[in-house]
Amino acid sequence: MLWLTPDTPADTPVVLRSAGERHRLDSAAFRQVWASTAAIRLGSGHWLHLAPADPDAPGAPEIVLRTTSSGLLIGCATAAGEAAWQLSVHPEPAI
């Protein structure tokens, strides 16, 4: 599992793709959420985009976002023994 603690405010917008649908949420509206891809607004105003390098890889790679008092905790997980992840920064959500 890969854990990230990006520079985000405690309450920040996120854009997710989950079950084939795109959702835009405010991090204050959830405690934990799972997604296939995610874009998180950083403190700088840019968006961190996370996605599995191979979304059809064995082990169903997923991203979990958890809210904390200091911002988001992001986990990239898979049931398989290994997985590769794509991380990039964009001026707008890339989902």
Strands (E), 13-70: 13-18, 21-26, 32-35, 37-41, 47-52, 62-68
Q: Tokens 């398989």 map to which residue?
A: 80
Distance, CA of 87 to chain centre = 10
Phi, psi (degrees; rounded to nearest 5) at 28: -70, -15
Q: Express each pLDDT in 28-74 by its tens digit.
A: 999 999 999 999 999 999 999 999 999 888 888 999 999 988 889 99
pLDDT at 76: 95
- Specify the pTM: 0.91
Kindly state the average pLDDT of the residues 11-29: 93
Give CA separation, 78 vs 1, 8, 47, 50, in Å: 7, 24, 23, 14
